């Protein structure tokens, strides 16, 4: 097997949150396949002669087909190139990294996975929100608000857990998601937060009771993370931080 592909998590947005291991791997690459949501500041760690290929997948926009991305990685790896697949957040948290790993292994390509800080942890942390807290939240659930086949998560089951909910790719469906949680028995007063462009200088956020969140967050857009649960109250402690700005 040829050892030639790195699946790299670039972190939640701020290039300085990319890991040292990710930066070193990126510096070895002949070819870099970069997602749309990855900050271009991360490319400072790439070689000046590296071939950079945009393979964006921003919600609501035309996306590069997943199968095409996988074929490109296999093609360059078989040419003897070192390939860096640079993905936002963590490759295995709603990043299709598992699909890409399977495709590369099936083609006989050796792969190293380099984890990254996922937005569901990094973005709330900028506001002082701990997604778990032993006094108020004994666990956290990461869930997507957008699925490939259009099916809905089991909102009633999620609402009953009493755990923090961190919802990815849900900002455009926020009214439907909120209604589903309320109909599932979650209190209308449950604190919730929507965070746009987490960890970046243009980060914006709103905090509101769950029932009012769709109206409060109407000006926010993708990419965004939604946090639902009592842990959101800790955001008030972060009011003096640079990124803690309400929309």
Choice among 35, 73, 81, 90 that is catalytic: 35
> Is 35 assigned a catalytic role?
yes
Whose structure tokens read 């869930």? Answer: 143
Say which of 73, 81, 87, 169 is annotated catalytic. 169
DSSP-derived letter for residue 151 is P
Are 201 and 222 within 8 A, CB to CB? no
In Å, how far are 190, 191, 213, 222 from 217, measured between CA atoms?
A: 15, 13, 6, 11
145 neighbors 173 (Cβ within 8 angstroms): yes
Rounded to whole angstroms, the Cα distance separating 15 from 37 reads 12
Q: Please give the structure tokens belonging to residue 56.
A: 């964006």
Q: Which contacts of 53-62 are long-range, i.e. CB under 8 A and separated by 24 or more positions?
A: 58/222, 58/223, 59/146, 59/169, 59/172, 59/222, 59/223, 60/172, 60/222, 61/36
Q: What are the phi and psi torsion angles at 167 (to 5°)?
A: -110, 120
Rounded Cα–Cα distance for residues 106 and 27 (Å):
26
Q: Which of 57, 73, 81, 87 is catalytic?
A: 57
> Which strand (E) or helix (H) includes residue 186?
none
Active site residues: 35, 57, 169
């Amino acid at each position: 097997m040829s050892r030639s592909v790195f699946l790299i998590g670039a972190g939640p947005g701020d290039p300085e949150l990319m890991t040292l291991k990710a930066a070193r791997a990126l510096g070895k690459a002949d070819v870099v396949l970069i997602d749309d949501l990855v900050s271009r500041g991360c490319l400072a760690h790439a070689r000046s002669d590296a071939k950079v290929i945009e393979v964006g997948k921003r919600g609501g926009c035309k996306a590069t087909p997943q199968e095409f991305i996988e074929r490109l990685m296999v093609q360059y790896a078989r040419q003897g190139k070192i390939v860096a697949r640079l993905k936002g957040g963590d490759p295995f948290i709603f990043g299709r990294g598992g699909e890409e790993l399977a495709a590369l292994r099936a083609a006989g390509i050796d792969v190293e996975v380099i984890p990254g800080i996922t937005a569901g942890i990094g973005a709330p942390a900028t506001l002082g929100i701990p997604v778990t807290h032993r006094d108020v939240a004994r666990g956290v659930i990461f869930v997507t608000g957008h699925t490939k086949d259009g099916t809905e998560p089991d909102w009633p089951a999620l609402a009953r857990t009493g755990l923090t909910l961190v919802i990815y790719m849900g900002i455009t469906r926020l009214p439907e998601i909120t209604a589903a949680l309320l109909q599932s028995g979650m209190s209308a007063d449950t604190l919730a937060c929507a965070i746009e462009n987490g960890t970046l200088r243009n980060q914006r956020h709103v905090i509101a009771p769950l029932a009012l969140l769709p109206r409060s967050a109407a000006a926010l857009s993708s990419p965004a993370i939604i946090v639902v649960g009592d842990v959101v109250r800790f955001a008030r402690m972060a009011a003096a931080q640079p990124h803690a700005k309400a929309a």
